[in-house]
Amino acid sequence: MSAAELAATSAAPAPSTATAPATAAGLVASDSGAHWSERYSRALMDTFGAPQRVLVRGEGAYVWDADGNRYLDLLAGIAVNALGHAHPTLTAAISAQLGTLGHVSNFFGSPTQIALAERLLELAQAPEGSRVFFANSGTEANEAAFKMARRTGRPRILALEGSFHGRTMGALALTHKAAYRAPFEPLPGGVEFIPFGDSAALEAALDENVAALFVEPIQGEAGVRPLPPGYLARARELTRACGALLVIDEVQTGMGRTGAWLAHQHPHLGGGIVPDVVTLAKGLGGGFPIGAAVAYGERAASLLGRGQHGTTFGGNPVGAAAALATIAVIDRDGLLEHVREIGAQLRSEIAALGHPLVAAVRGEGLLLAIELTSPVAVELAARALEAGFIINPVRPDTIRLAPPLILTRAQAADFVGFLAGVPRTATPDPEVSR
């Protein structure tokens, strides 16, 4: 659809202002969205582009901007806000921990840090001898896994075409997209990319010089692209045979996002395999920054020795308390089953629209992609934002949905209703797509 068509279409309701909340924060109440955006452009580096909106408050699956408009958040901070916004259990846990013990250096331990490591090993179904390294984010969790691979003494590391593992230098070396890599080359060496989901190519690439294979069960940044059934099981067989580590990046897919604690635990994705390392972040802290590298078994868990890696904030008591609270709510409220049900509802209802703009819906649980028949994802996301829905044009022809795990049936239906009202013809608009 063109920008003109988008502007002319007014069937969908305007963002609601009826429930715009008052806030006690004078800072937030003091300015309009336009003024905040102007101040943003003067004060922040231009690494993300101009903000689409300046958000001031969230509650459940909704957020509000500085002008009082409400939006259904179907991106959740890119798969981060597992429990939505301002969840009372999460905010209470963080407040209580911050009021008790806010931060200690990693020269010391804390009960929440230790309890979280034990809980993650349990959820990961990790064998005896397994250990956890805590980081601040997903890219740092992958940096830890990268260094573990280096410690094997082998020179080669394999990753898949289409991969995204982060933007720090080691994780960036594992990331396939040329536009992300080129401005920062030379990157750490030894990384080779092999075709996505091609078991024969993997078998041909593996030998006793390969330290590790890095894979995502579902490639999020590549457009929510699941590995074909059987690939991970075959990768496990092949890496074990040659002594290479199998590193599964569950930064986006982990902690219930797909309806299982870890995506590779789905029989059709992982088939019950035991990896060597799993990396986590995003939904782990429910919005509080924390990442983790889970090493399975004594071999992987002992690759990094004392002084060979570190972090200032990783696993601090507040982050660990946030993660424990997030896990407890997912468990208590049956959110894994809920995610499977709501995800299936979204997939089936979007497909049932028969909308000519929708080519396919794919993904797992509440990590979904709407593949479009034209490269108009940017225009569609802009139209959705105007109508009160936050979605992500992850590729020119693909929309990514990663809403809070608490998304209700009615909220999902609201978005499907929006899609039903989108113009049925589509023409890329170079002015919007630029």
Among 159, 177, 158, 157, residue whose Cα is nearest residue 167: 177
Report how far residue 432's alpha carbon sits from residue 434's, in angstroms, rounded to the nearest whole number. 6
User: CB-based burial of residue 421 (10 Å sphere; 0-12 exposed, 13-18 middle, 19+ buried)?
Assistant: middle
| Ligand-binding site membership of 67 (annotated) | no
Chain-centre distance of CA 340, in angstroms? 17
| Ligand-binding site membership of 138 (annotated) | yes
The token pair at 106 is 């990693």
Pairing mode of beta strands 358-364, 291-295:
unpaired
| Ligand-binding site membership of 311 (annotated) | yes
| Ligand-binding site membership of 252 (annotated) | yes
Q: What is the DSSP string of 266-281?
A: STTTTTT---SEEEE-
| Ligand-binding site membership of 398 (annotated) | no
Q: Is 164 a catalytic residue?
A: yes
Catalytic residue among 134, 146, 214, 249: 249
Report how far residue 15's alpha carbon sits from residue 386's, in angstroms, rounded to the nearest whole number. 7
Q: What is the DSSP string of 353-387?
A: T--TTEEEEEEETTEEEEEESSS-HHHHHHHHHHH
Q: Please list, in sequence order, all residues whose beta carbon lies within 8 angstroms of the beta carbon of residue 419, skipping any fewer than 6 positions away.
A: 350, 353, 355, 358
Report how far residue 19's alpha carbon sits from residue 16's, in angstroms, rounded to the nearest whole number. 7
| Ligand-binding site membership of 58 (annotated) | no
| Ligand-binding site membership of 383 (annotated) | no
| Ligand-binding site membership of 312 (annotated) | yes
Catalytic residue among 146, 214, 282, 415: 282
Catalytic residue among 146, 164, 288, 418: 164
| Ligand-binding site membership of 152 (annotated) | no
| Ligand-binding site membership of 73 (annotated) | no
Residues of the binding site for pyridoxal 5'-phosphate: 138-139, 164, 249-252, 312
Residue ranges for the known binding site are 138-139, 164, 167, 249-252, 311-312
Active site residues per annotation: 164, 249, 282
- Residue numbering of the annotated binding site for N(2)-acetyl-L-ornithine: 167, 311
